[in-house]
Every structure is written in structure tokens, then in C-alpha cells.
Structure 1
Amino acid sequence: MNQNNSFDSLMTSLATLGPVGHLPKMPGTWGSLVAAGLAPFVFIPFSLGIKLVILALLFFAGAWACKAAEQTFQRKDPSQAVIDEVLGQWTVFLFITSASVFTLALGFILFRIFDILKPFPIRHSETWLPDGYSVMLDDLLAGIYALITLMLLLKLVGQPFLPGLL
């Protein structure tokens, strides 16, 4: 295998989160579940600034990985590519400072709802950018919708998130 094929293989593996994107039925849900499960350990504990850097790096690395996955699977936005779910799911938890099971479950459910329904302009965003960037963008927007909804719901039930917001 030449060096370029090795890199493409590595990027495709990143896009699919290894075996996660190959799980039968609903790979996006599995990707979101893995992201929500990892969030309390590798995302939520960080400061807001570090979280924003993580999301930016994830957006760009994920776009490259999704482009490789599109070439590997010979179709636009292949269902096996689930790195975009990590970006969207972690966006939901951007302002969360304490990861209760309630908050994680609610954030997971809200993201899946917005990712599946794709309200305006999420569905349209799938064509705004080239290559894997459009794959990442629609999940980022779904994550933002879910983030706003989660913050409002947590405010209603008195759950903590980043001090000073709402």
C-alpha cells in the first residue's frame, strides 16, 4: 500500500470512528452515542476556549476525513462517516460544565432530533461548502439548534451550565 493510500485509509477510519460507522442500523445514532459517552471525559471538563479549539480542529479534520470517506465509499456523505456526529454532539455540550446523566441524555436526544429533522437552514447547508465541509456543517448547525434548546430547557429545570449564560 502506498503512502497516499495509507493516509486515505487512516482518514476514512477517522471518519467512521473505526468500527462505529460500520455498526448495523443507524450509524449516526451510534456515532452520537459514542460522542455523548466520551464527552464527560474528553470535552466537557475543558474551558470554553479549549472547547472551541477542539470543535474547530474537529471541523477541519472531520472535513478532510469525510472527503476521504466519500472517495472510499463512492458517494456523498456516506452513512458510515460519523465523525460529523461527534462535532454536532459535542457542540450541544459547549456550555455544559457538569455532565449529569440527565444532561447527557437530553443533549443526545435533542441533537438526534435536529440532525434527523434538519430544520431550516440545516438541510440547505449540505450544499454550501465543498467536499467534506458540507458533511460537517449540517451537523454543526444541528448541534447549535440542540445547544440552544438544551440551554433553555436546563434553565427551566434549574440545572447548571456555564455561569453567566441565560
Structure 2
Amino acid sequence: MTDKKILTAEQRRILLSSPAGWLACGFGSGLTPKAQGTFGSLAALLPWLLLRHLSLPVYVLVLVVAFAIGVWACTVAGRALGVDDHRSLVWDEFVGLWIALIPAMLAPWWMVIAGFALFRLFDVAKPWPISWLDRRLKGGLGVMVDDVVAGVFAAIVLAILGAVFAGT
């Protein structure tokens, strides 16, 4: 088993040499030495700038496909690393943030910033049931599900904030 924090040069090579590893590490954004989840979430903003213009049904379809591909990619990459949920596997941040930003698709810029902050808060703090899911689910599904729930929580809070501050 490898250290949960530090990737060796060989592990980096393994991740970047396969489509599953490349996707699971967020196109390389998860390979930073620290704050991998934050850098993965920041990288997720770039494709979101295009995704936000989709209709809601198509956007949700993209989320479902991205989730399914993420389960596969994170399972393959985790096996290659010998760790179920290594910090460098950040595709879950992409999907989780995209869920969190649903209320911000056609909203003012402050909602994008708030959605990002709320998602990171729920992802790092892991309130129940996120912490429960994180401990119990393994493999690619375990990598993905806790961030999906963090994204849902963040989206709910963001929608409430948007409704409260809509008139301001």
C-alpha cells in the first residue's frame, strides 16, 4: 500500500499513461503536492463554463455519464495505485462541483464563488451522511458518492441563498 498523500514518480507515470488515470486525476489537476481536492475543483470550473450553457436535462445527463465514467476511472486508477481513494483522484470533485453549481448555471458570478466554497466546505467537513458514506463505500463508487452528496448539499444551500438574495 502506498502513502495516501505522496505519489512516487512511477505512480504519476501510471496515472498519466492511461485514459482512466488521466481522467481520475482530473487531467493532472490532482497531482499537485497539496490541496489536491481544491485544485481539482478549480480545474472543474473550466469545463463547467461550457457545461453551464446546456439545458438542464442535457446537463443532468452529462452528470450521470460523468459519474458512471468516474466510477470506472477511479476504480481502475485506485487499483493501479493500490489505494481505494487516493487524494490525487479528483474526478469526484469535478462531478460534485458541477452538481453544486446547478443553481448557478444562469446566475450572477457571486453564486459561482459561493457554490465553489460551499462544495469545498461540505467535501472537507464531511457532515453526516457524507462521512458515513466515505467510510463504508470503497472503490470507484466510494470515491464518487461522497462528493456527489457534498455537491447536492452545496446545491441546496446555494439555491436557498440564491432565493434569499434574488432581490438584491
- Length-normalised TM-score, structure 1: 0.85
Aligned-residue identity in percent = 33
Q: Which residue number corresponds to residue 30 of structure 2?
A: 21
Q: What does the per-residue CA deviation read over 1:96-136, in whole Å, with 9 as the maximum and x for residues that have no partner?
A: 33253211111100000000001110111125545201110
**Partners of 1:40 and 1:99 within 8 A in 2:** no
Q: Which residue number corresponds to residue 138 of structure 1?
A: 146
Q: 1:68 to 1:114 in 2, by over 3 A?
A: same
Q: CA deviation at 1:36?
A: 2.3
Query: Equivalent residue of 1:81, what SS?
Result: coil
- Segments of 5+ residues of structure 2 without an aligned counterpart are 1-13
Q: Which residue number corresponds to residue 38 of structure 1?
A: 47
Q: CA deviation at 1:21?
A: 0.9
1:88 and 2:69 are equivalent in the alignment: no
Report the number of matched residues.
153
Q: Which residue number corresponds to residue 63 of structure 2?
A: 55
Q: Which residue number corresponds to residue 120 of structure 2?
A: 112
Q: What does the per-residue CA deviation read over 1:20-74, in whole Å, with 9 as the maximum and x for residues that have no partner?
A: 1111211100011111233121x21111111111110011100011011111211
**Partners of 1:48 and 1:95 within 8 A in 2:** no
Give structure 1 regions of 4+ aligned residues with deviation exceeding 4 angstroms: 127-130
| Separation in 1, partners of 2:107, 2:43 | 15
User: Which one has a larger percent helix, Structure 1 or Structure 2?
Assistant: 2
**Partners of 1:36 and 1:104 within 8 A in 2:** no
| Separation in 2, partners of 1:120, 1:51 | 27
2:157 aligned partner, one-letter code: T
Q: Which residue number corresponds to residue 8 of structure 2?
A: none
1:103 and 2:76 are equivalent in the alignment: no
| Separation in 2, partners of 1:75, 1:97 | 35
- Segments of 5+ residues of structure 1 without an aligned counterpart are 160-166
